[in-house]
Chain A
Amino acid sequence: MSGDSDFQPKNPVLKWIERRLPILSFVNSSFVSYLVPRNLNYWWTFGGILTVMLAVQIVTGIVLVMHYTPTSAEAFNSVEHIMRDVNYGWLLRYIHANGASMFFLAVYIHIFRGLYYGSYKEPREILWILGVIIFVLMMAAAFMGYVLPWGQMSFWAATVITNLFTAIPLVGKAITQWLWGGYAVDQPTLQRFFALHYLLPFMIVGVVVLHIWALHHVGQGNPTGIDVKSDRDTIPFTPYATVKDNFALICFLIVFAWFVFYIPNYMGHPDNYIPANPLQTPPHIVPEWYFLPFYAILRAIPNKLMGVVALFGSIGVLAFLPWLDTSKVRSARFRPLYKQFFWVLVVVCIGLGYLGSKPAEGAYVIIARILTAYYFLHFLVILPALGYLETPRPLPTSISEPVLPRKSAAAVGRKG
């Protein structure tokens, strides 16, 4: 899928560099002359948006660290100091905090795009698994970042999530005390979370490089899910995809800016403006919105160990998707039954998110159990079975066929 590699810079300085390190032709073949399917729609722009969001988080994060103090006595105050005293501190912190939410919004769209168009199928299994790894690293980074302001929600989120490890038989308690560096979440926990929160984004960058490498090696999928067959099916990345990605990015940034400037605390929880108190749990603790579906799954299971297993299983199952989906057809466009089950899954995930925000009692628990069961049913039973039961619609012969006039017809047209 890589474009022509005979790129040669004209400028003598660039020529000198290119002969010693062929970085210019590498960039050119990866991001300029690189060929992409001509039918990519706007759902394909979220990879680029995510790359920008990762950069935004890293840049704002590095400058926030210049003002933040990772001690249990000063962390809360230093965040308030950033908000009140530091020049543009309010802006940088709101960008970083809302940026995390927007990052997850984009990644969920990106994941569901992959589910709808079968982006995980042969030969993109490793590309997909690298994506699942990035998602797990993102969740760890977001969780540890949420602990740093050391408010009530920070403290109790840290307590509940680290306590998940106490569910491990025999060694659970030892592992948890090792994570804490004490007998409860305290100063050592905050300080190590800070260190890891700084490290994880750079690990994400590393896996993103592998993700893009794998993508450029096998080539983009596309909404029809059929392979690129000829030059007529592709267009160069620049200017076509670059312009489309940038337009989508600007639209996305407008939404982002709306949150930052108009409702910066909408996605946060007011209790996190109360300093952490290890002796009192807030009456109703909830995680950030992007963890709610998983939180609902955890609470739906009445057994502690099984609840934790289900929580991790609900993410882990995604890594096995390439082998759970037995259908040879990639895109849901040509899979009439899968398309319906896809939308049921979307509704179930949103439903789980809603239930995760509600107290764990009465009907909420029962519905959460049903939706949790369905979530696993979708991946472990429905997807494998559909490949055998479903009759896919006929696939077009090529990507360009439905949109471009056929060669002979075009020739006739020119003559006439």
Chain B
Amino acid sequence: MVRRARELVVATSKAVGTEPTRRDFLYIATATVGAVGAASATWPLISQMNPDASVLALSSAEVDLTPIAEGQIITIKWRGKPVFISHRTKKEIDDARAVKMDDLKDPQTDEARVKKGKDQWLVLVGICTHLGCVPLGHEGQYNGWFCPCHGSVYDTSGRIRQGPAPTNLEVPPYEFASDTSIKIG
């Protein structure tokens, strides 16, 4: 028995650099099964940090638009985030539509950012696309939004015009539930 084991060791050491032995196969197979097992055991530990069922459940909000005067911007909370609803004046709409696409960092027409026939209503996630601060309304060079944290400037369509933010303010998924109310989410 001992002799048999010794022969095996000799055979294994001889095999180094030549043919893989059955033992090499067993080592690799065992290590692979172990690694896959460890990785799958880690998954629940990672996944538990993702948004849970109760957070996912709070995903829509209904807003009545009648109290919002022309030229006013209100902020509501949706999924824990601020959402801006801007009742734009004619001048604000015209300003947003007069911009040439070449001047935009993230080119998008104003028409594509509002619902057809509801041009005065602009709905935006109120989070700067740079690092997540809440921009201030009716501020900045384009009289749209200005982020006080790192100086990003948005126009009256919520499009990025200056500063470090890479993209336009996001338009959340929403629809008009009636002529005077919207459902976000």
Contact = CB atoms under 8 A, between A and B. Distances in A.
Interface of A: 156, 159-160, 162-164, 166, 177-186, 188, 192, 278-285, 299, 301-305, 307, 359-361
A278 B150 CA distance: 18
A48 to B, nearest CB: 37
Interface in B45-94: 46, 49-52, 55, 75, 77, 79-82
Q: Closest 3 CB pairs between A and B? A: A163-B132, A183-B79, A184-B80
Contact of A163 (B81, B126, B131): B131
Contact of B81 (A179, A184, A307, A361): A184
Given A184-B79, A279-B82, A304 B130 contact: yes
Given A159-B132, A160-B149, A304-B165, A278 B55 contact: no
Given A281-B149, A359-B151, 12 more contacts: A159-B133, A178-B49, A184-B79, A185-B80, A186-B80, A188-B51, A192-B49, A278-B81, A281-B148, A303-B164, A360-B151, A361-B151
B132 A160 contact: yes
Contacts of B49: 178-179, 181, 188, 192
A343 B149 CA distance: 31
Contact of A284 (B46, B77, B126, B148): B148
B134 interface: yes
6 contacts: A184-B127, A284-B148, A285-B148, A301-B164, A304-B130, A359-B151
A182 B131 contact: no
A279 B46 CA distance: 29
B166 interface: yes
A180 B75 CA distance: 22
A171 to B, nearest CB: 13
From B134, B163, B166, residue with most partner A Cβ within 10 Å:
B134
B15 to A, nearest CB: 35
Interface string B30-46: 00000000000000001
A185 B77 CA distance: 13
A9 B59 CA distance: 69
Contacts of B164: 299, 301-304, 307
B165 to A, nearest CB: 7
Contacts of A283: 148
Nearest to B80: A184
A278 B80 contact: yes
Interface string B131-158: 1111000000000000111110000000
A279 B49 CA distance: 24
B132 A188 contact: no
B140 to A, nearest CB: 12
Contacts, number: 89
A169 to B, nearest CB: 11
A304 B126 CA distance: 18
Given A181-B55, A182-B55, A285 B132 contact: no
A222 B127 CA distance: 52
From A159, A179, A307, residue with most partner B Cβ within 10 Å:
A159
B51 A182 contact: yes
A177 B151 contact: no
From B55, B79, B126, B163, residue with most partner A Cβ within 10 Å:
B55
Contacts of A305: 166
A299 B55 contact: no
B68 to A, nearest CB: 16
Contacts of A180: 51
A79 B165 CA distance: 35
B131 A160 contact: yes
A137 B137 CA distance: 38
Contacts of A159: 131-133
Contacts of A278: 77, 80-82
Contacts of A282: 148
Contact of A164 (B79, B131, B149): B131
Contacts of A192: 49
A182 B81 CA distance: 10
Nearest to A283: B148
Contact of A160 (B51, B55, B80, B133): B133
Given A281-B148, A284-B148, A285-B133, A178 B80 contact: no
A280 B51 CA distance: 23
A181 B80 CA distance: 12
Contacts of A303: 164, 166
B134 A280 contact: yes
Contact of B166 (A177, A186, A284, A304): A304
Contacts of A179: 49
From B150, B151, B163, residue with most partner A Cβ within 10 Å:
B150
Nearest to B81: A184
Contacts of A182: 51, 55, 79-80
B149 A285 contact: yes
A188 B54 CA distance: 11
Nearest to B133: A281
A185 B51 CA distance: 11
Contacts of A164: 131
A274 to B, nearest CB: 15
A377 to B, nearest CB: 22
